[in-house]
Chains A and B, each alone.
Chain A
């Protein structure tokens, strides 16, 4: 009885979300090893991707003026922090990378190099700010606290219909334990309490151009009045052309 109820709850949960987390490399029902996250990837994320900056252009391509936080659902405390932004102070404190943290790094104009670090770990290197994000499909005990925090990853795939294989799905990444940073280069803050939820999808145009679409939700009970939503796009490159690692800049 209890066991059946548990099955029911599991199935209801999966049914309501409309998606299933993919196997994590555990032993399957007939003693077979389930594929690793790398092997189970419903689409290929690896390669060099370049940002195509067409949204929030003025906030991303130039440093917006102090106090220009239009669009970000900030509370008064956050506005006060943003209004006191001082890049010289950040430089003096060695914190030039405040706008290169996980909550904003995908918005910084630059390129990504995505690779599998191992069967359980996907890695994103950025040339802008020379940052590295590590997405772990396995349980992690990482302490976090850095600009990129700790990221837990899983594939979300829709089950195949009537015996067909699973559809191409999304990569879901939840990042926590972040060092406080900036949502925009002009000092719009996010706190250590931030939870960053991202979905990575890949689309291919009829002309063959392939894009990585990152759907982002930022929950920050300290500085935001509601979740901050944005999405970002990158174009797949054939090679490393343009890859130019450079340090963080506070200005």
Chain B
């Protein structure tokens, strides 16, 4: 009795002091906290049918889509999901809380201080683990890889958990083709009331949304383990015999399913097309008076100038060289034009490309932080100066011990005194000139070891390195380089995350060959799970990524190719094709209206390619 009364008094005293009890975490250096741990399921009393079915084609009401987002969605064909890489993707943060699934939350705390390090979450449908860092760590640089779950940091706004997420993969906001770009960020708010969490998501996407998109959804606590936590998905050939450059999409104004939603649900077509105005109370009156004619202009790109990308280049542009670990023995150097891939090991440093040559001293210094071994090999993926500009200084900074002391040294006094530069023969041809004629680049930077076969191979630093020449892609001399043990592919100009592909028709490039080259890359990638991880891609420019975004890039080029081809078939002129804004749904991500490679130049290169007989571009198989 005495003990009981004493205990009650202590309990009351604790409360009076503000010490939280059940349902609350003890105060930690990370914040006051609310306990989200446990199993939760989302409730579909809102937007019933939309979440479980992903939305009907043409159901975009209440989404503040801009023109690019709307045209992308209207062009999206559900058959796109039969494309191999589209079959098993994960869910991005702006989508997965609104998808039908259960969640499991738990905390990660420092075992010695009990400081909250992270709140973790596992999603049922796609086997994803999401980490919300609570320890104040910074977000990674822009050239780091993106993921479905992104990089999330959390803090407390009173009793509300706030989360900011960046580094998301390009994906969908709805499974009916409404796009989300990889520039999207999300601000989230978790509020708990008893056994219910109210979740608020605000998506900001400068590429596809005209303004931030706020939504709410509710989760309720599941008293028992939902038990079904796995996602058995493996891609397969769903359309037997379909060439892998066929990417289903609808031409502008030709989506045959567009009106199904508006007719079935009695929603004016104008409203179904969404836009920021569709979220405002005043829009009720607009809809009441809306006619079919009001919607028709929104089904195609509006006349007007092309738009440039709104996404900053991941290269900080600070005249510094930034080192980023890619995977295994491979690193990426960012900052001197095209990316440089660095493979290190016992034998010597192997580089894929040498950058623009403006910061070569800093490139050498950065390499020295990774390895004391000499720069032994430089592989050029292209002759373009972004990839070869540093050849001469980096060669001079290196040495090839495999040649020094060999029979070459009896013939060439400088054998091995400098790195060996490897490239397909056409790279040398484009950089040099016949005897007696002025060469476009100094001889010190020319490849010294050329090849003409489709596959050049080398075992270096304990792993197989394969150099795959892809004819008639960006140029006639492009290669991509595969590190088999590290499971990394450096693509050169065949793939970038920053611009439309540089198709240098005058130097042997073609859109056919480029798409084939991308498919060849995809034939050599293996994802770890849900189109994520596994083989990592170092692009010619931009950030580290994986096969998902190579596939998306391939899809984009194939779709634009088909649009150009349709206009050619309809006897349109090049000027008419350019004026049709056939790239409108990608321009805010990849477009350029000035600089060395503009959207106009890309469209013209596609047109020129299509007007020529397709070059022989047999794939790797």
B8 touches A5 (CB 8 A): yes
A170 and B18 in contact, given A17-B23, A199-B193, A231-B218 (Cβ under 8 angstroms): no
Say yes or no: A159 contacts B18, CB within 8 Å.
yes
Q: Is A14 at the interface (CB under 8 A from chain B)? A: yes
Which of B265-273, B321-329, B581-589 forms part of the interface with chain A? Answer: B265-273
| Among B12, B19, B287, contact of A62 (Cβ-Cβ < 8 Å) | B287
Contacts of B164 in A (CB 8 A): 206
- B293 near A: Cβ within 8 Å? no
Q: Is A73's CB under 8 angstroms from B45's CB?
A: yes
Q: Is B158 in contact with A169, judged by CB distance below 8 angstroms?
A: yes
Q: B302: shortest Cβ distance to chain A, in Å?
A: 24
| Among candidates B26, B193, B282, residue contacting A215 with C-beta atoms closer than 8 Å | B193
The complex places the Cα of A45 from the Cα of B328 at a distance, in Å, of: 54
Chain-B contact segment, one of A78-86, A160-168, A173-181 = A160-168
In the complex formed, the residue of B with least CB distance to A166 is: B18
The answer to whether B214 has its CB under 8 Å from any CB of chain A is yes
Is there an interface contact between B281 and A158, defined as CB atoms closer than 8 Å? Answer: no
A62 touches B23 (CB 8 A): no
CB-CB under 8 A for A229 and B22, given A4-B5, A203-B162: no
Given A1-B1, A11-B12, A201-B191, A61 and B20 touching (CB < 8 A)? Answer: no
Closest residue on chain A to residue B284 by CB atoms: A109
State whether the Cβ of B215 lies closer than 8 Å to any Cβ in chain A. yes
Residues B218 and A55 in contact, CB atoms below 8 Å apart: no
Is the C-beta of B331 less than 8 angstroms from some C-beta in chain A?
no
How many chain B residues sit at the interface, stated as a range, is 35 or more
Contact present for B215 and A16 (CB under 8 Å):
no
Please choose the segment from B196-204, B491-499, B563-571 that sits at the chain A interface, where 4 or more of its residues have CB less than 8 A away.
B196-204
Interface flag for B32 (CB, 8 Å): yes
CB distance from B190 to the nearest CB of A (A): 10
Residue of B nearest to A108 (CB): B281
The answer to whether B279 and A52 have CB atoms under 8 Å apart is yes
Q: Which of A72, A167, A233 contacts B158 (CB 8 A)?
A: A167
- Cβ of A118 under 8 Å from chain B: no
Taking CB atoms, residues of chain B closer than 8 Å to A51 are 281
Q: For B19, what are the chain A residues with a Cβ–Cβ distance below 8 Å?
A: 159, 161-162
- Interface residue ranges of A190-232 to B (CB < 8 Å): 199, 201, 203-207, 209, 211, 213, 215, 217, 228-232
Would A229 and B62 count as touching, CB distance under 8 A? no
* Bound complex: CA A215 to CA B219 (Å): 11
A64–B189 Cα distance when bound, in Å, is 30
Chain A: which residue is nearest B189 at the CB level? A203
B159 touches which one: A55, A170, A242 (CB < 8 A)?
A170
**B160 lies within 8 A of chain A by Cβ:** yes
Query: Residues of B contacting A72 with CB < 8 Å?
Result: 45, 48
Residue B434 is within 8 A (CB to CB) of chain A in the complex: no
Tell me the complex Cα distance, A15–B8, Å: 13
Q: Using known A-B contacts A61-B61, A71-B46, determine if residue A213 contacts B11 with beta carbons closer than 8 Å.
A: no
A43 proximity list for chain B (CB < 8 A) = 158
| Chain A residues bordering chain B, tally (CB within 8 A) | 70
How far apart are B172's CB and chain A's nearest CB, in angstroms? 16
Q: Hey, which chain B residues are within 8 Å of A233, CB to CB? A: 200, 214-216
Q: How far is the CA of A7 from the CA of B9 in the complex (A)?
A: 8
| Proximity string of chain B (158-173) to chain A, C-beta cutoff 8 Å, 1 when within and 0 when not | 1110101000000000
Q: Report if A70-B280 is in contact (Cβ < 8 Å); known contacts: A8-B11, A64-B265, A231-B198.
A: no
1/0 contact string of A1-31 vs chain B (CB within 8 Å): 1001101101110111111000000000000
In the bound complex, how far is the Cα of B158 from the Cα of A52, in angstroms? 24
Q: Across the two chains, which residue of chain B brings its CB closest to A205?
A: B187
Q: Mark B36-75, 1 if CB is under 8 A from A, else 0.
A: 0000000111111100000000010111000000000000
The proximity string for B residues 82-122 relative to A, scoring 1 for CB distances below 8 Å and 0 otherwise, is 00000000000000000000000000000000000000000
B21 CB within 8 Å of chain A: yes
Alpha-carbon distance A1/B266, docked complex (angstroms): 67
Q: In the bound complex, do residue A228 and residue B45 qualify as a contact, i.e. CB atoms below 8 Å apart?
A: yes
Return the contact of A7 from the options B8, B47, B200, B287 (Cβ within 8 A). B8
Tell me if A162 and B282 are in contact (CB < 8 A): no
Per a CB cutoff under 8 Å, which of A16, A163, A217 touches B18? A163
Q: Are A61 and B62 in contact (CB under 8 A)?
A: yes
Q: Is the CB of A18 within 8 A of B23?
A: yes
Question: A50 at the A/B interface (Cβ < 8 Å)?
Answer: yes
- Mark interface residues in A36-62 (1 if CB within 8 Å of B CB, else 0): 000000110000001111111110011
User: Across the two chains, which residue of chain A brings its CB closest to B213?
Assistant: A54
Q: Counting CB contacts under 8 A, is A149 at the interface?
A: no
B158 CB contacts on chain A under 8 angstroms:
42-43, 167-169
Known: A57-B61, A61-B283, A62-B267. A215 touches B218 (CB 8 A): yes
- A72 CB → nearest B CB, Å: 7
In whole Å, how far is A194's beta carbon from the nearest beta carbon of chain B?
Answer: 15
Known A-B contacts A54-B214, A58-B61, A65-B266; the reply to A4 vs B45 at CB < 8 A is no
Check if A211 sits within 8 Å of B214, measured CB to CB.
Answer: yes
Q: Which residues of A lie under 8 Å from residue B47 when comparing CB positions?
A: 55-57, 71
14 contacts between A and B (CB under 8 A): A5-B8, A8-B8, A10-B12, A42-B158, A55-B62, A58-B61, A64-B265, A109-B280, A159-B15, A169-B158, A201-B191, A203-B157, A203-B189, A213-B200
Residues of B with Cβ closer than 8 Å to A? 1, 4-5, 7-9, 11-12, 15, 17-24, 26-27, 32, 34-35, 43-49, 59, 61-63, 157-160, 162, 164, 187, 189, 191-194, 196, 198, 200, 202, 212-218, 220, 265-268, 271, 278-284, 287
* Supplied contacts A50-B280, A54-B213, 10 more A-B pairs, CB within 8 Å: A10-B12, A15-B20, A17-B194, A18-B22, A19-B23, A53-B281, A166-B18, A229-B196, A230-B45, A233-B200
